[in-house]
Amino acid sequence: MVATNNDVFLEQLIQNQRRAIRYYVLFAGGLVALGIIVITFAFVSPSWLAPNSPIIPDTFKALFGMGGTFVSSLSAFQVKEILNRKEKIQAFETIKVQMRSLKDTPKSKREDSQKRLEELIWKVLEKTALS
């Protein structure tokens, strides 16, 4: 029963990491899409205004700059953070596999390994809670 609780716990940690990766990607994609929409609006807006309107150059410049800012925010995309989270997922998967393989080992050898893995899981929980 302890192994299944640990499996559930590890699966939750893995799902949290996957959700965080998804959030980073969707947030960055949303900013870039917003920037592209604003830039497109900047190019289309002069056709809605009077051709000799003094507002056209200022509006175009402001909208184009704002859209460019959103698109350039992609440069701040934290690829390192995503790679770190993928490494954590691999580590959690490895711990999960080790926990499952303990079920096949003799009880005398299992207790020590299981205790070490449980300590490792608690260290992961502690580190996750504190960071």
Q: Which candidate, 40, 34, 39, 35, places its Cα nearest to that of 64?
A: 39
Q: Which candidate, 128, 113, 110, 115, places its Cα nearest to that of 12?
A: 128
What pTM value is reported for the model?
0.70
User: For the chain, which residues make up each domain, given as ranges?
Assistant: 2-130
Please write the tens of the pLDDT for every residue from 93-120: 888 888 888 777 777 777 777 788 888 8
Higher-confidence position of 36 and 54: 36
CA distances from 64 to 35, 111, 116 (A): 9, 64, 57
Please write the tens of the pLDDT for every residue from 115-125: 888 888 788 77
CA distances from 122 to 24, 65, 86, 88 (A): 26, 49, 20, 15
